[in-house]
Structure 1
Amino acid sequence: MEIVGAVVSMMQCFCGENCSRQSVSETCTYLRRPRALANRLNEKMELLKAREEDIKRKLHVENVCRGMEPKAEVNMWLINVRKITSSIASMQEKLTIDKRCLNRCLPNYMSRFKQGKRINKKIKEVDRLLGQSIFPDASLVDMMPRRGKILPASSLVGESAQRSLETVWAYLNDEHSGIIGIYGMGGVGKTSILVEINNRILRESTIFDNVIWVTASNDSNVQKLQKDIARAIGLSFDDEDDEMTRAAQLLDALMRRSRFVLIIDDLWEAFPLEVIGIPYPNYGYDCKLIITTRSMIVCRGMESVREVEVSVLSEEEAWNLFKQKVGEEVLASPTLQAVAKDVSKECGGLPLAVVTVGRALRRENDLRQWKNALSQLKSATGRIEGMENRVFARLRFSYERLKDNVTRSCFLYCTLYPEDHHIETEELIKYWTWEGLLDKLGYGESKMLQGKMILDELKHACLLEIIGCQEGSLNEYVKMHDLIRDMAIAVTRESPLFMIRAGHEMRVPPVENEWLVGLERISLMRNDLNSLILEPRCPQLTTLLLQYNSLSKGVHPSFFNHLKSLKVLDLSYTGISGLPDSFSNLKNLHALLLRSCWNLHHVPTMGRLKELRVLDLSSTSIECVPPGMEMLLNLKHLDLSHTTLLEFAIQILGTYRFLESLLTIGLRPPLLLGPDFVNVLKRCTILTTFEANFINLQDFNYYVSSDHWNTLESFKFCVGYPQSSKLPGKNSVGFFGIHIVETEASSWLPGILELVIHECSGITHLPMFIMNDSSDLKHCKIKYCDEMEWIITPEWGTFPNLELLEIEGLCRIYVLNIIACDNLMTLLPLELVQHLKNLEKLELENCSMLEEIIVTDAENEEIIQENNGEVVLPSLQKLRLVSIPRLRSICRGPMICDLLTTIEVVECPELKILPFFLEMRQQLAASLKQIKGSRSWWRALRRKHPTATSLLAPLLRPEREYSSPANEHSHGGNFGNSSFGAR
């Protein structure tokens, strides 16, 4: 105690007046119990940290669940807590409570005193913060919720983009549209539309309280997407949380929010909502989900209720945007403006490309620079500033995201066609098959089905555009967008290596040093090449497309010497007269296509082409079977149609054990398809496609009776003179220019989809051919069969799948009766009506979709003018219309039916005009005997035909307002019972 007193006295001397004012007990505490003081500070800090955690937890709940923000005073308190925590941590690192002096004999009381004083000061600061931490819950946060963020937006260009925007907005305000998918190719403007939707919700919508925007990255997975959404709503996960825990936290946080829209931009892969933790949007407005993606498959994978495709700009819209980016003053020169329009067209309506190119050429007055830019765009070099990084890079990522190398190879194959070319899908799939691309998939499905699955993936990824069916064809077509094609061509300059000069109007082939050793595919199709006088060395080349060139001067004798890997060679539609002997060395060739090589007379030996699967010699001038054909043991497809073969031994077909397709329609002289031929066909056990013409009906009947057709998946048969062009679809049978005796017309192939009867004599009614099941029949065309008396009668059954009935030159028809044809919307084109001079009865019953009977359009102007604008049925005596609820018109103009005796209209509430009442003729008034119909219908007619109804009122036989017996008929298909009669 004496030592302490002495120390205190000493400290008073050192510390002076301030120290002397301290209480002795406090000073003693500093000196004697410094560790207890430090422990007390630690306890206070633990209490403060606990209080901080409690407040943070409450703030987190308010922020995540309700979008509330902390008040300023709460934020200030949290800042002060962080400061003192940091200050104390720093102080504790420097504490030296056991420091000693006088050669470690005594404690260093001076050091203890200073440290104790600092600790005591911090204790008081902590006490003050603890006292300030009592916040009522209501005062923790601001009551104004954070709804979302207004995003910087560029104005939408074009009517199509505006329509897409309004469609999405309408779906957003529809309580039944919980998940909305927006898809389209890269750079088409999906995000721009979504930004506009985001901003419009925040500015205008009273339905939704919150908008949550998340941009998915290219490599998104479940964990990353969960974290991105969590970050957007202020939720944080612990590092040890697993996927399910994160999903549960996210679901809980989102479900606590009322009326929100979750926007996920640029999604590349579909994820189950429950796995991520997104509540499923049910009916109502509590929750909506909008996604953008480049693939419709992703939309469907996310279970979208509504899908909106964003299309490219029209040519005019693209030009307007381009002018805006370039600057109108630059385009004052007509010459420069013409080039600028071509540059704009080359952007293909893709907004990103239009903007990028427009900015690169902004205020550029040099015509040479514009022409150079046009040249670069056409050559797909991407050297215009920004094109490679901003446009091609985005488009290329869609290509790289395709699921496997096979799909990528199939996509690149499309570049072999010319720019803007409409690619027939079936032909494209065949190329893939012949190249062997589909062999790598290993699926059990047919190659055609595999190919269609790949095409679907490419279409859904917006890498191919659907064109649909072209006029006169039942096949589907696709095309590549110009910039997608440019991107793909850029890929083929690296790996795999292609040479693509399709449709370039070339007269001279590429020079020999352009035929690089590493080339895998070459397309020179659709040019003006007269010859190929070179010897290319391309040992890796697998496809060579030369179709639609003249090649009248032939091919170099050694042209094929160094093309050992070639699998597909297409010389179709060329004027080549013969193939060089070097062709015989193509041991790996899979497909040789010589279709319509009209001048082709010579093909060298094929004996060494052991791998050949496809041989197309159709419409060529060869007269002898190429030598060595009997050695083609792997042949699967043989097309000899419309070819003259003076010598053809049918026994050769028996050696083709793998033959799947045999086409011989138009082969001259025609094959004798009798017992010997059928026996050879039966040895081709896997033949699934067969097309042939039969000289007469007897041969056809024999073939049908052989039951060989049972193994076929596709067939096309001409009986009489060959007319394959008039049988465009598969599973079709045509009878052309033959005399038919009813006793001979006894064979019918089940599964026929199309039936054509053209210029045949002896046939009096269609049922002569329909002796078995005809339920598959879709198209029926009957033309110029002058002896036809009856086409179809009800007693011969129904045609549930009939879609097209085409009649021409059958002038003897006098009865037309159609019953229960539910999908029929119109019946007779005007050009057919003018041939129905003998039609006496027209009866239609129970056709629920029929709106108009006689159709007139712009193509019929000449016919209408010839008849002074009138439709004439000079022999019509009875018109019966029963139970046709949508029927609005018999025909659009006046109608002359001077022999009409009976009119019956029952349950046709929309028919309020009768065309023969428009100009009431004395002949009609004299011939009419009775009119059957309801009084309500007659009253409706009075408004349109007051004179006629007044004159003919005595002829009315009112029907009771009843349900027609016609309702008892079956509604099983497009065509129900129909009859056409003639005499």
Structure 2
Amino acid sequence: MGSVSPSSLMDIFNLLKACCSPSCNYIMAYEGTFSSLASEVGQLKDKSSDVKRDVEAATRDGQTPRSEVLGWLSSVQDMEGEAESIERKYNQKIKCLCSFPLNVCSAYRLRNRAEAALATIRELKQSAEFTKLADNLNLTRSIKMPTTKTIGMEKVFEELLCHAKDDSLSVIGIHGMGGVGKTALLRRFNNDFPSETEADVVIFLELSIDYKLEEVQKSLFERLSLTWQDEVTHRDRATKLFRVLSTLKFILLFDNLWEPLNYQVVGIPLPAPPSKCKIIFTTRTEDTCSHMGTEKMIKMECLEEEAAWNLFRNSARMDVIDADKNILIKARDLVKECGGLPAALIVLAQAMAPKKTWEEWIHALTIMKDTPHQLPGMTNNVFSILKLSYDRLSSDNLRVCASYGALFKKGSWIGKSNIRNLWIGEGIIDNADNIGDSTRKTQFLLGILHAASLIERVHDNYFRIHPMTRAMILWVQRECGKKENKWLVPDRDRVEEAPAAEKWRDAERIALVWNQIRDLPEAPQCPNMIFLNLHVNKFLRKIPNGFFLHMPHLKILDLQETSIEELPVSIGNLMQLHFLELSRTRITSLPKEMAALVNLKYLSLESMKYLRTIPDRLISGLRELQWLNMVDSYSGWREGGVSFEELESLKRLKVIGITVSTLAALQNLCDSPRLAAVTHWLHIEGCQDLTMFNIPSTDFHAETMLRLIRIQLHAMSELEEVVIGNRQPILLPLQEFRLSSLPKAKLVWRATFPNALRELKIEDCGAIDRLIKLEGEANGGGETVITIFPDLHTMVLRRLPELKSLSDGERILNFPSLKTIKVEDCPKLMKLTLVADGLKEIECERSWWEQLNWGDERSKSFEHLYNPMYID
């Protein structure tokens, strides 16, 4: 056999290499494919781990992973297995020279498989950006709640519904007194909230009065189907709640919030408008609304009369009402006693459902007026609910303040100044340096009671207490009905007889106001009595001599607007008396025994027009006196009578109202630094030589009266001009200015100066033909609008026969703060020529209103403000 030369072998090798070159190149890139596969698989595993962790967290939070996410994770798992299989087979290949695999065909197949896996993995990576990993499909969107009737609440329900659909509002607070229907409204909202809205879940939680953080979190965990673990901290639970709720469009309904809820501590994400998420809550306290970041507050009021009647009739079907007209009348009267409070109406209807006779309805009305707690269900379902607001007040002093509302007539308006004075006597307001301080503290306390839904404002200076709240307080003060005589406050109209003497023995407080009582017990035994109010009993002309003998602890005595002509000497036995109100009585002389009232802090002798004699050294004996009001009363400050020196000796005196009738007395008052500094009300009458009076005035050193808030000029026949603003740089805190019975006087404005006047009252001034004559800086040509009283709130004009205009010729007066004008017997006033954009009412006689010139454009702008005359 012949040999093969080396050159021939090389030729053969080159030929084979040339033939296999494309395949060899393909196989040479083999390792790069597997390297890329390993890298891509690693990145996919990292992404898969992140998604798995989030899905597991969502699953723990009660959410359901979305199908696309689970499918993706399954595909990832499959591709991880495929990649491992390819890598294993790749590593098993036996390589030879130049890294060629021995089995070329199998190498082709393995690389093709790797490239297919690599493409799939890259697709999985690209599709891993999920908008949502899990759904709450296992949550119940809302759970229906049992609720009571919401008759008469349609308007407020529509308001709530409207606000709930407003994406610009996220936190809505509903506030109102207990029993007004807040829970019923919120439950109706929970049940009827439209299903077409985008909310994922509506959660209703009714909180206990002193709820704990754990209680709120646990309720939310249960509603969201989250796993509760006792060992987990509040903070971790809050984090979990926050994470879950942040993924939802939620509506959270919190009923009966007594204290503000801290969203962050609980774990509630505060929705940022615009948002479909809402937090809606009910509370009795307006302060809670403020502290909860409320964007819209809804005040729930008691029902109007017809709505109250409909709720009563629908709460217990009573055919007897329609069958007997007499019963129908009594039923209407019964409903009025509830004051439109839904809780009381429902209880009353249920109690009266079985009553079939007129006599039963008559008796029920008597009970409702006198002792409503005796009606079935009233204590548990009305009084106990209202009592919660009373009990939650932060101090005993506040509860005393609230209780004072029950000492006034049912439904009456209670003046802020009236309650202020009584609180001074009670000691709630003490050591106030001036009227401003005491009034501000009164307003602050009233604000707390109003925010707690225990009183309601009806006017700037008046409030009232709901009849059921009042009945609840009386029930509480009578030890839940066990001691009916502890607070003797008859609710009958025009009571003619005082309670029998034996009832006074157990009494702590007696209020017999606005009645027709003529006689009082001779010497009642009242060992515990601290409060006695006989205000406005105009038929009471005499107090028995021994009446005050057995009242050792009496602190407050109000005899205002009775017709008594003298005080019995037994008044000196009231050693603990702090408050004595004698205004508008017919007393002519104060008894010297009053000097024994060494603890008296407040004494009012206002408008005691018959008072002529005050015994020497009586006033100086009242060493604790802080407040003395003698406006429109005693004016005999002269030698031989009580002197200013006695007033100066009262070291604790902080407020006086005083009347002077001579220029000498006025001068002496202004010259006394001690008295001038505490004078708040100044009444000047008589002064026959006075022809001009300036405000402010250096003539009488008025610059020393830096707390003067009211001046009244009365019955001065020669006074021709009352000048305001005489270019003196004196700023008085004057708030009220009154002119009365000044036949020649005219009011003149002479130069601009700062003032805080809020009330202007002009009566019986026959010469006034225009409201005020403008002089000096206020003068000018052509029609101009001038503001001289920027803070004037009320204007009263009575019996001004020559008054023709409220401005001065072409100079129109602007009153930017004016709210009320009262006009009586001003026959020549035919136009309302003034600017008052904030005016709310014109109180006047109908006949005058109808004869006004409504063709005048300025007058026409006020034609909707008529209010029938109310006599002060």
- CA 1:483/1:555 → structure 2, altered by over 3 Å: closer, same or farther? same
User: What amino acid is aligned across from residue 656 of structure 2 in structure 1?
Assistant: L
State which of 667, 670, 674 in structure 2 corresponds to 1:678.
670
Conservation of the 8 A alpha-carbon contact between 1:673 and 1:699: no
Conservation of the 8 A alpha-carbon contact between 1:184 and 1:462: yes
- CA 1:600/1:521 → structure 2, altered by over 3 Å: closer, same or farther? farther
Conservation of the 8 A alpha-carbon contact between 1:214 and 1:264: yes
CA–CA distance in 1 between the matches of 2:691 and 2:803?
22
Partner residue, 2:260: 270
Partner residue, 2:469: 484
CA–CA distance in 1 between the matches of 2:529 and 2:676?
34
- How many residues align? The count is 713
Partner residue, 2:599: 611
CA–CA distance in 1 between the matches of 2:254 and 2:428?
36
- CA 1:649/1:359 → structure 2, altered by over 3 Å: closer, same or farther? same
Partner residue, 2:19: none
CA–CA distance in 2 between the matches of 1:447 and 1:309?
29
Matched, 1:297 2:278: no
Partner residue, 1:413: 404
CA–CA distance in 1 between the matches of 2:790 and 2:492?
42
- 1:912-951 correspondence to structure 2 within 5 Å: none
- 1:666-815 correspondence to structure 2 within 5 Å: 669-670=661-662, 672-679=664-671, 681-684=672-675, 687=678, 689-693=680-684, 695=687, 696=690, 704-705=698-699, 707=701, 709-710=703-704, 712-719=706-713, 721=715, 738-740=719-721, 750-753=732-735, 766-767=748-749, 770-771=750-751, 773-777=753-757, 785=767, 791=774, 794=778, 799=788, 801=790, 803=792, 809=802, 815=809
User: What amino acid is aligned across from residue 620 of structure 2 in structure 1?
Assistant: E
Matched, 1:355 2:336: no
Partner residue, 1:936: none
CA–CA distance in 2 between the matches of 1:290 and 1:249?
22
Percent sequence identity over aligned pairs: 25
Q: Deviations over 1:430-452 (max 9, x none)?
A: 2112111345999x994433322
TM-score, L = length of structure 1: 0.65
Conservation of the 8 A alpha-carbon contact between 1:503 and 1:525: no
State which of 614, 622, 638 in structure 2 corresponds to 1:625.
614
CA–CA distance in 2 between the matches of 1:322 and 1:644?
55
CA–CA distance in 2 between the matches of 1:587 and 1:408?
26
Q: Deviations over 1:650-707 (max 9, x none)?
A: 2222112222222234x6x55733443323x312476152322163266767964565
Matched, 1:513 2:499: no
CA–CA distance in 2 between the matches of 1:445 and 1:662?
13
Partner residue, 1:346: 337
Partner residue, 1:317: 307
Conservation of the 8 A alpha-carbon contact between 2:487 and 2:509: yes
State which of 370, 379, 384 in structure 1 corresponds to 2:370.
379
- CA 1:801/1:359 → structure 2, altered by over 3 Å: closer, same or farther? same
Partner residue, 1:425: 416
Query: Residue 229 of structure 1: CA displacement?
Result: 2.8
SS in 1 for 2:684: strand
TM-score, L = length of structure 2: 0.72
Conservation of the 8 A alpha-carbon contact between 1:750 and 1:773: no
Query: Residue 56 of structure 1: CA displacement?
Result: 9.3
Q: Deviations over 1:126-170 (max 9, x none)?
A: xxxxxxxxxxxx999984642111223444212xx1111111111
User: What amino acid is aligned across from residue 480 of structure 1 in structure 2?
Assistant: I
Partner residue, 1:637: 627
Partner residue, 2:113: none
Matched, 1:434 2:415: no
- CA 1:707/1:516 → structure 2, altered by over 3 Å: closer, same or farther? same
Query: Residue 362 of structure 1: CA displacement?
Result: 1.5
- CA 1:755/1:716 → structure 2, altered by over 3 Å: closer, same or farther? closer
State which of 567, 573, 594 in structure 1 corresponds to 2:561.
573
Query: Residue 220 of structure 1: CA displacement?
Result: 1.4
Matched, 1:182 2:182: no
Partner residue, 2:250: 260
SS in 2 for 1:508: coil
CA–CA distance in 1 between the matches of 2:388 and 2:137?
44
User: What amino acid is aligned across from residue 197 of structure 1 in structure 2?
Assistant: F
Query: Residue 766 of structure 1: CA displacement?
Result: 3.3
CA–CA distance in 1 between the matches of 2:338 and 2:735?
43
Partner residue, 2:62: 62
Partner residue, 1:35: none
- CA 1:779/1:479 → structure 2, altered by over 3 Å: closer, same or farther? closer
Query: Residue 567 of structure 1: CA displacement?
Result: 1.2
Query: Residue 191 of structure 1: CA displacement?
Result: 1.3
CA–CA distance in 1 between the matches of 2:269 and 2:578?
54
- CA 1:719/1:577 → structure 2, altered by over 3 Å: closer, same or farther? closer
Matched, 1:397 2:385: no
User: What amino acid is aligned across from residue 372 of structure 1 in structure 2?
Assistant: H
- CA 1:650/1:685 → structure 2, altered by over 3 Å: closer, same or farther? closer
Conservation of the 8 A alpha-carbon contact between 1:64 and 1:234: no
CA–CA distance in 2 between the matches of 1:742 and 1:361?
66
Conservation of the 8 A alpha-carbon contact between 1:633 and 1:656: yes
SS in 2 for 1:557: coil
CA–CA distance in 1 between the matches of 2:479 and 2:441?
27
Query: Residue 404 of structure 1: CA displacement?
Result: 1.3
Query: Residue 179 of structure 1: CA displacement?
Result: 0.6
Query: Residue 850 of structure 1: CA displacement?
Result: 11
User: What amino acid is aligned across from residue 479 of structure 2 in structure 1?
Assistant: E
CA–CA distance in 1 between the matches of 2:822 and 2:469?
45
Query: Residue 773 of structure 1: CA displacement?
Result: 1.5
CA–CA distance in 2 between the matches of 1:315 and 1:149?
34
- CA 1:64/1:605 → structure 2, altered by over 3 Å: closer, same or farther? farther
- 1:440-589 correspondence to structure 2 within 5 Å: 446-469=437-460, 476-494=461-479, 497-501=486-490, 504-517=493-506, 519-550=507-538, 552=540, 554-589=542-577
Conservation of the 8 A alpha-carbon contact between 1:577 and 1:602: no
- CA 1:760/1:431 → structure 2, altered by over 3 Å: closer, same or farther? closer
Conservation of the 8 A alpha-carbon contact between 1:183 and 1:294: yes
Conservation of the 8 A alpha-carbon contact between 2:250 and 2:277: yes
SS in 2 for 1:605: helix
Query: Residue 484 of structure 1: CA displacement?
Result: 0.8
Where does structure 2 lack aligned partners over 5 or more consecutive residues? Answer: 1-52, 67-131, 781-785, 862-872
How well do the aligned residues superpose, as a CA RMSD in angstroms?
A: 4.4
Conservation of the 8 A alpha-carbon contact between 2:708 and 2:734: no
- CA 1:548/1:179 → structure 2, altered by over 3 Å: closer, same or farther? same
SS in 1 for 2:257: coil
CA–CA distance in 1 between the matches of 2:823 and 2:611?
45
CA–CA distance in 2 between the matches of 1:857 and 1:630?
47
Moved more, 310-319 or 816-825: 816-825
Conservation of the 8 A alpha-carbon contact between 2:727 and 2:753: no
Conservation of the 8 A alpha-carbon contact between 1:775 and 1:798: no
